[in-house]
Amino acid sequence: MLKNNLIKHLKIVRRFVLLQWFALFDYDFIKSLLMNTIAHIPLPKYKRIVIIGAGFAGLRLARRLFNSGYQVVILDKNNYHQFQPLFYQVATAGLEPSAISFPLRVLFQKQEGFHFRIAELLSVDPQKQEVTTSIGRLPYDFLVIAAGGETNFFGNSQIQDQALTMKSVSDAIQIRNTILTNYERALNQIDANEMAAYLNMVIVGGGPTGVELAGALAEMKKYILPKDYPELDFGLMKIYLFEGSPRLLNGMSEKSGNQVAKYLKNMDVEVLLNTRVVDASPGKVVLQDGSIHNTHTLIWAAGIKAVQITGIPDHCFGNAGRLLTSEYSKVVELEHVFALGDIALMQNETTPKGHPQVAQVAIQQADCLATNLLREKDNKIWKKFVYTDKGSMATVGRNQAVADLPGIHLKGFVAWFLWSAVHLMSIIGVKNRFFIMWDWVWNYFSYNQTLRLLIKPNIPKNYTEDKN
């Protein structure tokens, strides 16, 4: 009898202790700790959408889901959004890096259910509906991969080791530092050939990035650099633009490609079409015909490939590693997994090779998917994505640009002004727009860019980055 009473009292004490424990801690919080290894992201009240990448597509989708009831988790390598079309102006000292970057947390300060983490996607498990990242695992109800693309060197490791790329603000700053450093080194050269090698610029790729960068460098050569470096002979400096196809701007009309070629020729840029770079070493670039061009500045803007995602079955990938998607942006044969922007390959009768890898496609795909996710809450039928081509534009310098709009082709000052207005209004943040407009106006009338600064991080030799 005594033993039974003791057991009974022990059970009462244990029940009391458990009740006190759960009173101290929130049950949902404890459950989230067990299920979610990324700290401080609670269980969603409705469903969780995980977005990989905060570029044009990822950011647009997130903003369209404000006050939607979904929990939105955004993962990106950087804590800011980058405006990629103006990277070349940072690279040529025309704009501050901060002017084309916008902190992501500012956008989500007043939004409940929105979470951001700096993280790198390591793998996806479609069966478990879970992603593994550099900071832990995270379950999802819907996964949206908008990780964008990376530079494609077509398997040439020598070129990859020597070339500069322009896929991020950091890349643009590195190009600026390299260019300015090479000018300083050119001052110390006695031999004219060695001096020319430091002055020469080689750009590979005749798309918008290549032609805009070539034009900006040509303007620096004409208006700015001789004033900064009067000791240098800029008659030795050559700017080369190599394009592997028969014309420039393959994504635009032939008329625009030919017009841009004329602009660049008048700006003393040497454009070589049907020309491929096959090798590179320090100070040298080798073409397919065996000819050699001496340069310490090789900028690669010739190709793009999708960022590879571990865990996605091989049959889900198409050309250039892009994820095959349906007209609803859903990755083929995978449930609850979507792809947007450069990484997505949506093929149909009208787009057998997929959509062009440009910002407008990414933005419109994000808008369509956001609409469908909102319709999902109301059990409504999803709408198919239909791309509306609003036109393409490219500029090579002051008052020189081309624009292919629906039913009309523009060039010269009108196209340049339109290009400037569209890009200015596409920038996030009133402050950023103001600073960019001010820099553009100043540069336009003064023919002077004031941001020619060599800023390099001073990293201690024994410094190691904490990956956690």
Partnered with residue 132 across adjacent β-strands are: 123, 137
User: In whole angstroms, what is the distance from residue 212 CA to residue 38 CA?
Assistant: 41
Average model confidence (pLDDT) for the chain? Answer: 88
C-alpha 427 chain-centroid distance: 14
Q: Which CATH number fits domain 32-77+119-152+304-391: 3.30.420.40, 3.40.50.300, 1.10.10.10, 3.50.50.60?
A: 3.50.50.60
Written as six digits, the tokens of 161 are: 């080791």
| Digit-coded pLDDT (tens) for 155-193 | 888 999 999 999 999 999 999 999 999 999 999 999 999
Model-level pTM greater than 0.75?
A: yes
Question: Could you name the CATH architecture of 157-302+398-446?
Answer: 3-Layer(bba) Sandwich (3.50)
Contact (Cβ atoms closer than 8 angstroms) between residue 322 and residue 148: no
Q: Return contacts of 398-403, CB within 8 angstroms, 24+ apart.
A: 398/219, 398/444, 400/215, 400/263, 402/249, 402/252, 402/255, 402/256, 402/259, 402/260, 403/256
Q: Which DSSP category does 97 fall into?
A: G
pLDDT of 153 reads 86
* pLDDT tens digits for range 231-261: 999 999 999 999 999 999 998 999 999 999 9
Q: Does the pLDDT value for residue 111 go beyond 70?
A: yes
pLDDT at 34: 47
What does the pLDDT look like over 158-167, one tens digit per residue?
999 999 999 9
In angstroms, the CA 202 to CA 298 distance is 5
pLDDT at 16 over 60: no
Express as a percent the part of the chain with pLDDT over 90. Answer: 69
DSSP string, 28-91: HHHHHHHH--STT-PPPSS-EEEEE--SHHHHHHHHHTTTSS-EEEEEESSSEEE-GGGHHHHH
Mean pLDDT calculated for residue range 32-47: 73
Q: Quote the CA–CA distance of 263 and 400 in Å, as a whole number.
A: 7
Confidence of residue 306 (pLDDT cuts 50, 70, 90): confident
Residues of the chain within CATH 3.50.50.100 domain(s) are 157-302+398-446
For tokens 């409504």, name the residue. 380
For residue 119, name the pLDDT band (cuts at 50, 70, 90): very high
Q: Give me the mean pLDDT over the 370-375 stretch.
A: 96
Instruction: Give yes or no for a contact between 285 and 293, defined as CB atoms under 8 angstroms apart.
Output: yes
Is the pLDDT reported for residue 94 higher than 80?
yes
Looking only at the bridges linking them, the beta strands covering 284-287 and 292-294 are antiparallel
Residues recorded for the chain:
468
pLDDT, position 439: 87
Least confident of 2-6, 285-289, 382-386: 2-6
Residue 436: name the closest of 54, 446, 426, 412 by CA: 426
pLDDT higher than threshold 60 for residue 320: yes
Lowest mean pLDDT among 125-139, 328-342, 404-418, 449-463: 449-463
Which of these, 382, 397, 99, lies nearest to 239 by C-alpha position? Answer: 397
Q: What pLDDT digit, counting tens, does each position of 272-289 carry?
A: 999 999 999 999 999 999
Q: What number is the average pLDDT over the span 300-309?
A: 86
Mean pLDDT (whole number) for 209-238: 93
pLDDT at 332 over 90: yes
- Percent of the chain surpassing pLDDT 70: 89
Task: Determine which of 81-95, 356-370, 452-466 has the lowest per-residue pLDDT on average.
Answer: 452-466
Residue 350 confidence class, pLDDT cut points 50, 70, 90? confident
Residue bearing tokens 């498990």: 125
pLDDT in tens, 421-448: 999 999 988 888 898 998 888 888 887 7
